[in-house]
Amino acid sequence: MIKYSLICKVGHEFEGWFQNSAAFDVQSANDMVVCPSCGTHEVQKALMAPAVATRSNRSEPVQNRPTPGPDATTHAYVPPSIAEIVRKIRAEIEKKAEYVGPDFAEEARRIHYAESPERGIYGEATSDEVAELDEEGIPVFALPVLPEERN
């Protein structure tokens, strides 16, 4: 079915449903499309896109969203209850893993290749170092930092 906005010769606007656009043409040619206000058969399609329920006719809102650049990093907004969990995870890691400071990337690599004893470690790494580890398939992840811990 297709809905047309129609207008009669004196300007009455109304809407009509038709099987398809050909059906409108046939009915119109046979004086079967009648203005409900004045009864005239002289009716034509108003200059309006027919309202058809297709996907392409729907709104297209999301496309203007900017794509994040390569520098974008993942961020999260969390309510205080989740922030508490994040804090606990961090505390747990900091308690059980060994702090290796700026040697993190090198030490993670040694552990991965079994050149150092297997254990959890944490420390500082540059984004380049993290990218290299990632390329080598060495699983490291950024510790979540809560906003109040930055400074």
Residues that bind Zn ion (CB under 5 A): 8, 12, 35, 37-38
Of the two residues 5 and 116, which places its CB atom closer to Zn ion in the complex? 5
Whether the Cβ atoms of residue 86 and residue 39 lie closer than 8 Å to each other: no
Whether the Cβ atoms of residue 105 and residue 133 lie closer than 8 Å to each other: yes
Shortest separation between residue 75's beta carbon and Zn ion, angstroms: 59
Whether the Cβ atoms of residue 141 and residue 108 lie closer than 8 Å to each other: no
Of the two residues 13 and 25, which places its CB atom closer to Zn ion in the complex? 13
Of the two residues 12 and 112, which places its CB atom closer to Zn ion in the complex? 12
Of the two residues 38 and 131, which places its CB atom closer to Zn ion in the complex? 38
Whether the Cβ atoms of residue 18 and residue 2 lie closer than 8 Å to each other: yes
Whether the Cβ atoms of residue 130 and residue 106 lie closer than 8 Å to each other: no
Shortest separation between residue 77's beta carbon and Zn ion, angstroms: 56
Shortest separation between residue 43's beta carbon and Zn ion, angstroms: 8
Of the two residues 37 and 127, which places its CB atom closer to Zn ion in the complex? 37
Handedness of CA 106, 110, 115, 120 (dihedral sign): positive
Shortest separation between residue 11's beta carbon and Zn ion, angstroms: 7
CA–CA distances in Å: residue 44 to residues 15, 18, 27: 11, 13, 11
CA-based nearest residue to 146, from 100, 71, 77: 77
Shortest separation between residue 17's beta carbon and Zn ion, angstroms: 18
